[in-house]
Amino acid sequence: MSTASESNGTLPRHYLKPCLLLLLAEGPSHGYELLEQVRRMGIKGAEPGGLYRYLRAMEKEEMVSSWWEPSQAGPARRTYVLTEQGRKGLNESVQSLREVREILVSLLDRYDSLQPKAASASRP
Amino acid sequence: MSTASESNGTLPRHYLKPCLLLLLAEGPSHGYELLEQVRRMGIKGAEPGGLYRYLRAMEKEEMVSSWWEPSQAGPARRTYVLTEQGRKGLNESVQSLREVREILVSLLDRYDSLQPKAASASRP
DNA sequence: GTCCTATAGATGTATATTGTATCTATCCGC
DNA sequence: GCGGATAGATACAATATACATCTATAGGAC
């Protein structure tokens, strides 16, 4: 257990799947590119191993489908698209994400209304 | 993997520790009560096993300290208080939580600006 | 008194999820 | 033909989580 720093500066990898669904809702893509996109989105700790695993898992669940596509520069890529079901899945996970956001907001509000002493780190 | 519903209506248990630190920053408390409080806060899936284990772990890290206290009704309780270090830990994890909140907000905004078709679930 | 329930805390263990390292393959420039 | 960037995949160890179980105390029902 690493205390307080287990999600330092990054979205927990926990949100990888919703992120992937969102990115694929914006258009078809392939693993390597998705990796860079999720990193740019804030999941800095995302790494290829887990990402490819998630993609294959989501395919097994029929949230996405894929095929090989030759690249004009470099090795062939597996291109992923969102399925009808994946879009439903995205809608659903967005709903839970909204709840998470609300809870997070109220938790942070609660922190902010602690005695000033405790808030020393955020108020100079 | 259960797709899209793994955090349905609840804060991932992942946030248990920050929650406990916040609750203890509001005042000393004991495990059984903390359990109910975190559940009320939104971590509905919290269960005694993990919670007590977290508390002992946090004590080993000197984020909290505890002692036995007799109860006027029922068995003795172990009362926990936040230590100086625990308060620092809270401040730090609140900072990452703020980042998480920001990323979540931008992710949801991004979802909301998808083609109307995709947003059918949230706009009647 | 003894049985049942609520309160309180703790542990053991099976299973899932993650992190990390490693491996293959293709194409490009040189 | 070699090294580096791109692309995808897997194995295995380390952690985390869920779930069941165990102890103990106080209070009330009977």
Q: Chunked in runs of 10, what are the mean pLDDT values of chain A (124 residues)? A: 30 75 96 94 88 93 95 93 95 90 93 73 52
| Residue at the smallest CA–C1' distance to nucleotide C12 | B49
How buried is B49 (Cβ within 10 angstroms: 0-12 exposed, 13-18 middle, 19+ buried)?
A: exposed
Residue B89 φ then ψ, to 5°: -60, -40
User: Which pLDDT tens digit goes with each residue over A20-54?
Assistant: 999 999 999 999 999 999 999 988 888 999 999 99
Q: Is the pTM of this model over 0.85?
A: no
Structure tokens at A111: 């922190």
Q: Which of B22, B99, B105 sits opposite A101 (nearest CB)?
A: B105
**Which residues put CB within 7 Å of chain C, the nucleic strand?**
A 13-14, 45, 47-50, 53, 70-76; B 1-2, 6, 30-33, 48-49, 52-53, 55-56, 71, 73-79
How far apart CA B29 and CA B71 sit, in angstroms, is 12
SS3 B80: strand
**Nucleotide in closest CA–C1' contact with B50:** D17
Structure tokens at B42: 């939104």
Residues 6+ apart with CB under 8 A from B112: B119, B122
In chain B, what residues touch A90 (CB-CB under 8 Å)? Answer: 4, 111, 118
